[in-house]
Amino acid sequence: MSQSDLLSQLMESLRCLPGVGQKSAQRMAYHLLERNREGGMRLASALQESLKRIGHCAQCRDFTEQECCAICASAARDTSLLCVVETPADRLVIELATGYRGLYFILQGRLSPLDGVGPRELGLDKLAKRLAEGAINEMIIATNPTVEGEATAHYLAQLARQLEVKPSKLAHGVPIGGELEYVDRGTLAHAFGTRIDMP
């Protein structure tokens, strides 16, 4: 295989990453080859090890090297609360930005029949089994405010009610410190339509 074939293969491989097109892949490949071969070797090694050893937590479906992730294994978490999120990145944001001390369930996506993503692909059978065990009193639905996210939230709320678990949902609306004139129409309409009584 000639060098140009290897270079083309490297560029094409980099394009598997989200948001990386032909030009970005070309820039990355040239950077690794011209300026940071050592970094490229570390990247290749870390990528290979991660893909071999990281799997899904048996309870929450988050990424972990163990059978059970650190959050699910922790005795300090409130086992009566379960927060359902779309991705591990969403879980991380909630962990870092809030004082939430309950458990999680990561869907690894959202309902999207056109893309072939149904309840089975999101592990909702595993979620239903967990809710049916009776330890969870409240399921906090923290899906994104997209069409698919809202449809997923609706489905999850129905599932929780069937299993006699209280469903709740994150509030969406005007951000703290935001000014109304700069808030987009959709956010403002949603905030106005879901307004709450003041104490």
Q: Indicate which CATH number applies to the domain containing 32.
A: 1.10.8.420
Q: Do residues 161 and 72 both lie within one domain? A: yes
The pTM assigned to this predicted structure is 0.82
Work out how many domains the chain is built from and give that number.
2
Work out the widest C-alpha separation in the chain, in whole angstroms: 72
User: What is the H or E stretch that residue 6 is in?
Assistant: helix 3-14
**Do residues 77 and 165 share a domain?**
yes
Identify the CA nearest to 121 among candidates 131, 111, 134: 111
Q: Name the residue with higher pLDDT: 196 or 60.
A: 60
Is the domain of 93 the same as that of 72? yes
Q: Name which of 15-19, 23-27, 173-177 the model is least confident about.
A: 173-177
The runs of H, that is alpha helices, within 54-146 are 70-73, 88-97, 124-132
Contacts for 180 with CB less than 8 Å, ≥ 6 apart? 174, 188
In terms of domains, do 82 and 43 share one? no
- Does 44 share its domain with 96? no
Q: Which domain holds residue 138?
A: 66-169
pLDDT for 114 equals 86
Strand partners for 102: 78
Strand partners of residue 55: 64
70 and 47 in a common domain = no
> Are 76 and 162 contained in the same domain?
yes
Q: Are residues 74 and 161 in the same domain?
A: yes
Residue 47 pLDDT? 94
Residue 78 lies in a domain: yes
The percentage of the chain sitting over the pLDDT mark of 70, rounded to a whole number, equals 96
User: Does 70 lie in the same domain as 38?
Assistant: no
- Find how far residue 46's CA is from the centre of its chain: 22
Does the residue 191 lie in any domain?
Answer: no
Q: What is the pLDDT of residues 153-180, one digit of tens each?
A: 999 999 999 999 999 998 878 777 777 7
Q: What is the mean pLDDT of residues 89-110?
A: 93
Please provide residue 132's backbone torsions phi and psi, each rounded to the nearest 5 degrees: -70, -20
Instruction: Give the span between the Cα atoms of 152 and 158, in whole angstroms.
Output: 10
